């Protein structure tokens, strides 16, 4: 147990681990999906797989917003950076994600005005400070982040800012989970539900997974103890033949979510009929689009974007890893052609990407 | 990307009702509180911050837990960098 000294309460961890061992059926191979990339990161960082019984496999889900963005969308966003008198702004996570002709950082090195921001409001501020330029914000993220973009667009409108638009790549997690459940090559016994997404959506939206697909969902926090408890709660439901939505992360996640944030989403966005996810293909009603009433803030309306589909480099198996069909080291490029220094896929860029986490904590383990 | 950073509200700004100044481990920055329109906020309250917005109100011990968690995940430095990086408010 590599990171056990970092655990806040090793004894408590050991107690939950023991309880997990008592609860599992030794003759069954469990497949539990942690939906959120933050969970994936924590699982690798803390070596949780070494604590769990061998017959529990944690399958990494699609909950890393950078990782699920297809390369064609990255290219579309970057095509804005090439236009005269424009400034492209993006979160730090996007800066090293490769498009066909390079990463945002490489575009910047070539002389394009690409700037990293920590908040969509910073992008709006840049627009206000540079009235002679157009500022595009490359928006990514799940329900956790989308309300902030919505409020920023409302703010731009309220302040009459005319030189600001958003390239909207916000996605919603539930249709992706549904796609995974409907996929014939995937068997998942239960889910560790996302923590911070649920702060906004609440726990109700997951009920179809329990009611319709008969799979337990436990919304969990990110600490080792949270995750182990979440896994134990899933196992207990499975053992009792139940399927319910439970909230392990009650200290942060309210059952009903954040109403004001959900209203902001509904005010500014509508669902796209379909959207392409890397690895999962086109999923209907899985992404947000800026409503026509706010068209002047929609980069897809203001700019002519190429909108081409780009397939991933042939040997890259990001899609399979994203679906949990392969583990990171099973990708032929892992650790040789694709490393955090020279990433080929986004899963190797984002700290929430399975490949980056595996590379950092498992392939090159830090000595305890 | 999905960092949620705990901060304590230390100041409201009368002329900008959508902003509040928070203290995050000693660093003070203004953040947007528009997503908490449904919750009465008071000085001393703790909130979780994500990309410059308070996304939920939490208790004090939850806030301290969250700070410990960020440290346990090795993301505390990144969180502070993010908070310092907000430039939208004067
Ligand atoms: S190692 Fe690189 S190319 Fe292979 S799946 Fe991971 S990110 Fe994609």
Q: What angle do CA A220, A226, A229 make, to 5 degrees?
A: 90
Q: Is the ipTM of this complex over 0.85?
A: yes
- Any idea of the CA torsion for A117, A122, A128, A133, to the nearest 10 degrees? 20
What is the per-residue pLDDT for B1? 60
Regarding whether A187 and A109 lie in a shared domain, the answer is no
pLDDT digits 0-9 by tens, A294-335: 999 999 999 999 998 888 888 899 888 888 888 899 999 999
CA distance A166 to A136: 5
Does residue A285 lie within any of the structural domains?
Answer: yes
Residues A25-40 as b or e (16 or more Cβ within 10 Å = b): eeeeebbbbbbbbbbb
A106-113 long-range contacts, Cβ below 8 Å, gap at least 24?
A: A107/A78, A107/A81, A107/A82, A112/A81, A112/A82, A112/A88, A113/A81, A113/A86, A113/A87, A113/A88
Q: Which stretches of chain A are DSSP H helices? A: 10-23, 37-45, 48-51, 71-81, 104-109, 120-129, 146-158, 173-182, 195-201, 207-211, 224-239, 259-268, 299-302, 318-323, 354-358
Q: How far apart are the first and last CA of chain B?
A: 24
Residue nearest to atom 1 of ligand 1 (CA): A334
Q: Is the beta carbon of A290 within 6 A of some atom in ligand 1?
A: no
Give the number of the atom of ligand 1 that is nearest the alpha carbon of residue A335: 1
C-alpha of residue A328 to centroid of ligand 1, in Å = 7
A189 assigned to some structural domain: yes
Q: Are residues A279 and A167 in the same domain?
A: yes
**Ligand 1 mean position to A178 CA, how many Å?**
24
* Residue A314, domain member (yes or no): no
CA dist., res. A159 & res. A162, Å (int): 9
Contact residues, chain B, for A140 at CB < 8 Å: 1
Closest residue CA from atom 5 of ligand 1: A318
Nearest CA in chain A to B67: A223
Residue A322 CA: nearest ligand 1 atom is: 5
Ligand 1 atom nearest to A346, measured from its CA: 7
The SS3 of residue A219 is strand
The response to whether residue A357 sits with its C-beta less than 6 Å from ligand 1 reads no
The C-alpha atoms of residue B87 and residue A117 are separated, in whole angstroms, by: 9
User: How many Å separate Cα A108 from the centre of its chain?
Assistant: 25
Residue at A99 is within a domain: yes
CB atoms A122 and B87 under 8 Å: yes
B51 to A119: CB separation less than 8 angstroms, yes or no: yes
Interchain pair A351, B1: CB under 8 A: yes
pLDDT at B72 over 50: yes
Residue A368 pLDDT level (bands cut at 50, 70, 90): very low
Distance, CA of A17 to CA of A11 (rounded, Å): 10
pTM beyond 0.90: the answer is yes
Residue whose CA lies nearest to ligand 1 atom number 7? A345
Reply yes or no on domain B5-84 having CATH 2.30.30.140. yes
Closest partner residue to A145 (CB to CB) among B51, B72, B82 is B51
In a domain? residue A85: yes
Alpha-carbon distance of A202 to A219, in angstroms, equals 10
Query: Using a 6 Å cutoff on CB, does residue A345 contact ligand 1?
Result: yes
- Other beta carbons within 10 Å of A78: 28
Per CB-CB distance under 8 Å, the chain B contacts of A8 are: 68, 72
Distance from CA of B55 to the nearest CA of A (A): 7
Q: Is A177 in the pocket of ligand 1 (CB under 6 A)?
A: no
Q: A275, A114, A280, A257: which is closest to A193 by C-alpha?
A: A257
Residue B49 has pLDDT above 50, yes or no: yes
pLDDT of residue A364: 62
Distance B82 CA to ligand 1 centre (A): 27
- The rounded mean pLDDT for chain A is 92
Determine the distance separating the centroid of ligand 1 and the alpha carbon of A320, expressed in angstroms.
9
Structural domain tally of chain A? Answer: 3
Distance (Å, whole) CA A187 – CA A112: 45
Mean pLDDT calculated for residue range A338-354: 88
Sequence-distant (≥ 6) Cβ neighbours of residue A314 within 8 angstroms: none
A140 and A208 share one domain = no
Same domain, A200 and A119: no
Q: Could you tell me the residue range of the domain that residue A191 belongs to? A: 5-56+174-247
Residue corresponding to tokens 């430039």: B87
Using a 10 angstrom Cβ sphere, with 0-12 exposed, 13-18 middle and 19 or more buried, the burial of residue A92 is middle
Q: Which two tokens stand for residue A247?
A: 């909230």
Same domain, A142 and A213: no
Cα of A177 from ligand 1 centre, angstroms: 21
Measure the CA–CA gap between B58 and B32, rounded to whole angstroms: 16
Same structural domain for residues A274 and A243? Answer: no
Residue A365's pLDDT band, with cuts at 50, 70 and 90, is very low
Find the mean pLDDT for residues B13-38. Answer: 93
User: A265 and A166, same structural domain?
Assistant: yes
Same-domain check for residues A166 and A287: yes
Inter-chain touch A118–B86, beta carbons under 8 Å: yes
> CB of A73 within 8 A of CB of A45?
no
**pLDDT tens digits for range A23-39:** 999 999 999 999 999 89
For residue B57, pLDDT over 90 is answered with yes
The span from the CA of A48 to the CA of A32, in Å, is 13
Residue B3 has pLDDT above 90, yes or no: no
- Residues of B with CB below 8 A from A200's CB? 55
Check whether residue A167 and residue A200 sit in a common domain: no
User: pLDDT value at position A2?
Assistant: 40
Percentage of chain A modeled with pLDDT above 70: 96
For an interface test with B, which of A119, A126, A197 has the most B Cβ atoms less than 10 Å from its Cβ? A119
Cβ of A66 closer than 6 Å to ligand 1, yes or no, is no
Dihedral in degrees, nearest 10, Cα atoms A274, A277, A280, A281:
50
Which residues contact residue A163 at a Cβ distance below 8 angstroms, ignoring those fewer than 6 apart?
A127, A130, A131, A133, A134, A135
The predicted pLDDT at position A8 comes to 65
Q: Assess whether A79 and A136 both reside in one domain.
A: yes
Ligand 1 pocket member A203 (CB < 6 A): no
Mean pLDDT calculated for residue range B36-51: 95
The pLDDT of A120-132, averaged and rounded, is 97
pLDDT of residue A322: 84
Q: Where are the beta strands (DSSP E) in B1-90?
A: 5-12, 19-24, 27-32, 46-50, 53-58
Q: How far is CA A355 from CA A19, A65, A143, A171, in A?
A: 30, 14, 23, 21
CATH of the domain at A90: 3.40.50.11740
B4 to A196: CB separation less than 8 angstroms, yes or no: yes
Same domain membership, residue A230 and residue A214:
yes
Kindly state the average pLDDT of the residues A73-101.
94
Of all residues in chain A, the percent with pLDDT exceeding 90 is 76
Q: Kindly list the domain boundaries of chain B, sorted by start residue.
A: 5-84
Confidence of residue A352 (pLDDT cuts 50, 70, 90): confident
The domain that holds A33 is classified in CATH as 3.40.50.11750
A-chain residues near B55 (CB < 8 A): 144, 147-148, 196, 199-200, 258, 261
Please state whether A212 falls in left (phi above 0), alpha (psi between -120 and 50) or beta: alpha
Give the model's pLDDT for residue A367. 41
Numbered residues of chain B with Cβ closer than 8 Å to any chain A Cβ:
1-2, 4, 18, 32, 34-38, 48, 50-53, 55-56, 58-59, 62, 65-66, 68-69, 72-75, 82-83, 85-89
Q: Are residues A167 and A52 in the same domain?
A: no
pLDDT above 80: residue A266: yes
Nearest Cα residue to A127 out of A92, A91, A88, A93 = A88
């Amino acid at each position: 147990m590599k990171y056990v000294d970092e655990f806040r309460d090793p004894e408590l961890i050991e107690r939950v681990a023991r309880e997990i061992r008592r609860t599992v059926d030794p003759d069954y191979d469990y497949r539990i999906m942690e939906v959120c990339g933050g969970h994936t990161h924590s699982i690798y960082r803390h070596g949780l797989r070494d604590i769990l019984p061998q017959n529990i496999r944690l399958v990494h889900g699609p909950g890393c917003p950078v990782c699920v963005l297809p390369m064609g969308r990255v290219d579309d966003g970057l095509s804005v950076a090439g236009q005269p008198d424009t400034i492209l702004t993006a979160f730090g996570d996007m800066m090293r994600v490769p498009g066909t002709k390079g990463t945002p950082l490489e575009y910047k090195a070539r002389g394009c005005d690409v700037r990293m921001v920590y908040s969509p409001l910073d992008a709006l501020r840049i627009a206000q400070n540079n009235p002679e330029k157009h500022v595009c914000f490359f928006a990514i993220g799940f329900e956790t982040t989308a309300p902030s973009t919505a409020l920023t667009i409302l703010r731009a409108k309220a302040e009459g800012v005319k030189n600001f638009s958003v390239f909207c790549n916000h996605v919603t997690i539930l249709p992706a989970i549904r796609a995974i459940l409907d996929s014939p090559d995937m068997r998942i016994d239960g889910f560790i539900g996302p923590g911070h997404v649920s702060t906004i959506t609440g726990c109700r939206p997951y009920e179809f997974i329990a009611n319709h697909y008969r799979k337990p969902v436990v919304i969990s926090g990110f600490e080792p103890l949270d995750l182990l408890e979440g896994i134990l709660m899933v196992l207990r439901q499975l053992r009792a033949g139940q399927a319910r939505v439970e909230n392990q992360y009650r200290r942060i996640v309210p059952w009903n979510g954040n109403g004001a944030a959900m209203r902001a989403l509904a005010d500014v966005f509508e669902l796209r009929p379909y959207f392409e996810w890397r690895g999962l293909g086109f999923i209907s009603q899985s992404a947000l689009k800026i409503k026509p009433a706010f068209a002047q803030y929609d980069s897809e309306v203001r700019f002519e974007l190429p909108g081409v589909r780009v397939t991933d480099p042939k040997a890259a198996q990001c899609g399979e890893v994203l679906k949990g069909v392969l583990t990171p080291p099973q990708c032929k490029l892992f650790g040789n052609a694709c490393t955090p220094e020279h990433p080929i896929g986004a899963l190797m860029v984002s700290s929430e990407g399975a490949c980056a986490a595996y590379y950092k904590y498992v392939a090159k383990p830090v000595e305890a | 990307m999905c960092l949620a950073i705990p901060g304590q509200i230390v100041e409201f700004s009368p002329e900008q009702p959508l902003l509040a100044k928070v203290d995050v481990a000693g660093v003070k920055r203004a953040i947007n509180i528009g997503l908490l329109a449904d919750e009465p906020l008071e000085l001393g309250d703790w909130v979780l911050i994500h990309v410059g917005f308070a996304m939920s109100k939490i208790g004090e011990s939850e806030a301290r837990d969250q700070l410990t968690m960020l440290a346990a995940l090795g993301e505390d430095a990144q969180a502070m960098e993010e908070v310092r990086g907000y430039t939208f408010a004067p």
